[in-house]
């Protein structure tokens, strides 16, 4: 499956009042090499494993495979992850026909709030909510796999 998404910095916390749902996410990386990542995620009480391929030139699209796995398996796989676990709260905000996923980071990435919107095609033009700031699509510093090894608190 091809993942097409744009990433943005968030200006303020008005997304919380606009949100229709939120969840707690812990994720680690078994492999975070450039061009391929294998991620283990625990979202509330569910486990997932995700494999992502390299991004295209602009960082907008890449291959993604995600599969739900038993929570106990995800907890065990987290023990195999590289150092640096990502801890965040994800807020879901509808805007037109699109859903923005706003990630409020904790721990070593506290203070960073980023929004992503998944697109059906690279030409989609979502309605941008007022809390959205600078676009950072393709800026590797903002990839979760990079935040693991170079957290926001060190910038």
**Residue 15 annotated in active site:** no
pLDDT band at 2 (very low <50, low <70, confident <90, very high): confident
Q: What is the spatial distance between Cα 50 and Cα 40, in angstroms, rounded to a whole number? A: 6
> In this model, does residue 148 exceed pLDDT 90?
yes
Q: What is the pLDDT of residues 69-122, one digit of tens each?
A: 999 999 999 999 999 999 999 999 999 999 999 999 999 999 999 999 999 999
> In this model, does residue 133 exceed pLDDT 90?
yes
| Catalytic residue selected from 29, 142, 143, 152 | 29
> In this model, does residue 3 exceed pLDDT 90?
no
Structure tokens at 98: 């699109």
Q: What is the pLDDT of residues 9-20, one digit of tens each?
A: 999 999 999 999
Q: What is the spatial distance between Cα 124 and Cα 130, in angstroms, rounded to a whole number? A: 18
Dihedral-angle region of residue 73 (phi above 0 means left; psi in -120 to 50 means alpha; beta otherwise) = alpha
């Amino acid at each position: 499956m091809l993942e097409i998404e744009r990433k943005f910095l968030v200006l303020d916390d008005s997304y919380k009042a606009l949100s229709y749902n939120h969840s707690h996410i812990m994720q680690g990386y078994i492999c975070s090499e450039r061009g391929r990542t294998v991620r283990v995620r625990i979202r509330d009480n569910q486990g997932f494993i995700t494999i992502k391929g390299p991004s295209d030139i602009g960082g907008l699209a890449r291959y993604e495979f995600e599969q739900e796995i038993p929570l106990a398996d995800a907890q065990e796989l987290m023990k195999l992850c590289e150092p640096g676990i990502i801890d965040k709260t994800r807020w879901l905000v509808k805007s037109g026909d699109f859903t923005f996923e706003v990630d409020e980071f904790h721990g070593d990435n506290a203070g960073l709030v980023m929004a992503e919107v998944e697109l059906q095609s690279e030409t989609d033009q979502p309605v941008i909510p007022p809390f959205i700031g600078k676009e950072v699509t393709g800026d590797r510093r903002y990839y979760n796999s990079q935040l693991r090894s170079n957290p926001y608190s060190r910038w």
